[in-house]
Amino acid sequence: MLRWALALWAACTWLAGCQAQAEVHSSSPSAGIPEIVSRCIDGRDIAGELSTCTSAVDAKVDSEQLRDLARYSLALAQGRVVTPDGIPEPILRCLYSFNIADRIAYCTYAIEAKTGSTEMQAMAHHARAIAHCWDRHPERSVADETKAVSLVSNFPAAYAHRSVCKGMLGDLKGARADQAEALRLAPDVPGYHREAAMWANLVGDHDAALKHLGDGIRRWPQFNELLDLRAKTLFNLGRYDEAAEAFAQTVKAFPGDPPPVLWLHLARMRAGQPDTAEFATNTAGLDVSGWMKPMFDYYQDRADYGAAVLASRESDDASAECMAQLFIAEHLLAKKQVEMATMFFGGAVSTCNPAVAPTSAMAAWAELKKISPNLKGEGWSRWAGQP
């Protein structure tokens, strides 16, 4: 989002001296802002920045200014400094400001001055929405993305980002609807399948989540996050045999990553077929450190759960305590220690921030609801869509 390489930004300080250009705002209908183009311009795909922007330049877009921005972003990705002809200075400052406060100020100016084409105005609202979200004002982000899609209805990135912000505000139905629209407009984005599945899970529509994940995996079998979420969805549905096989795939897909190893072991235990030899094999080559080490020690009966929780609380990882509470609760439940498990599931609910660890928050509430069907509370109502 706002993470273009600092070196490239330093190379572009010449923008401060650019001459203001004439407004070229147009009210003509827009053919849309393709996902690949917006992904290049707003810098979401840092790892694949060069290839993304190359594809964006090659994409067939009607807007001359979008084509110019894609070419400019590609030049930045290549480390070149070029003059982006045809793009008003306020739009450039808005889209290519690294500092959040500066971006909000520049985008506000570009919006109020109605600078640039319809697509440029939509991109300015989208860019300001991203900055507002980073500045912890999701309600402002929703307002900006709503304006963006009113200007350009075929703008999948705006729907996808508004989905995230609505989720942060607790509007899960709205979040799911926006993600569905983003997926409809851009069905070839694997991340949109993942997010659609996530929202479906959070409102309890696990069958829909599995369908989204299945569709995504068929298209992109190498996209590891789809495999991981499918395994967790099967686990939360109580389909432990299937979940175990799915987690076995994630262990292979994420070599060296400790959490899938624990989830696989839990799935085997919950299926009533604990495989200690498999667990020993999978842990033998792992470099486990930080708060995860006491967790593995606990699973292997070398430490108690207190040490694992304490280590998680001392971690810099925002989701550490949430995950520790959840792993301990699932382990206790697999060992039929329901009362103790309930206590730790409650701990997970109180520490799992749905904005940081939505899958874990969902899993903790789902287990608590199985144990106590009449359970009610603000957290459940807000994040699982229940009355």
% of the chain with per-residue pLDDT over 90: 42
Choose among 84, 146, 141, 142: nearest CA to 116: 84
DSSP state of 203: T
Tokens of 56: 């964006």
- Cα separation, 233 vs 362, in Å, equals 10
Confidence of residue 378 (pLDDT cuts 50, 70, 90): very low
Contact 86, 65 (CB under 8 A): yes
Q: Domains of the chain: which residue ranges?
A: 6-179, 223-384
Residues 130, 134, 138: CA angle, nearest 5 degrees: 75
Confidence of residue 5 (pLDDT cuts 50, 70, 90): very low
Looking at every residue in the chain, the average pLDDT score rounds to 83
pLDDT tens string 234-259: 998 889 999 999 999 889 888 888 99
CATH class label, 6-179: mainly alpha
Q: What does the pLDDT read at residue 45? A: 62
- Which range has the top average pLDDT, 78-82, 108-112, 135-139, 189-193? 108-112
CATH of domain 223-384: 1.25.40.10
Residues 125, 128, 129: CA angle, nearest 5 degrees: 85
pTM as predicted: 0.74
Tokens of 25: 């705002």
Q: What does the pLDDT read at residue 48? A: 67
In this chain, the answer to whether the domains covering 6-179 and 223-384 adopt an identical fold is yes
* Tokens 């860019």 found at: 127
Tokens of 384: 């699982």
pLDDT tens string 316-326: 888 899 889 99
Contact 162, 141 (CB under 8 A): yes
pLDDT tens string 9-51: 222 222 222 222 222 333 344 679 999 999 888 876 666 678 8
Q: Which of 178-192, 211-225, 364-378 has the lowest mean pLDDT?
A: 364-378
Reported as type and span, the H/E element at residue 53 is helix 49-58
Confidence of residue 349 (pLDDT cuts 50, 70, 90): confident
Q: What does the pLDDT read at residue 52? A: 86
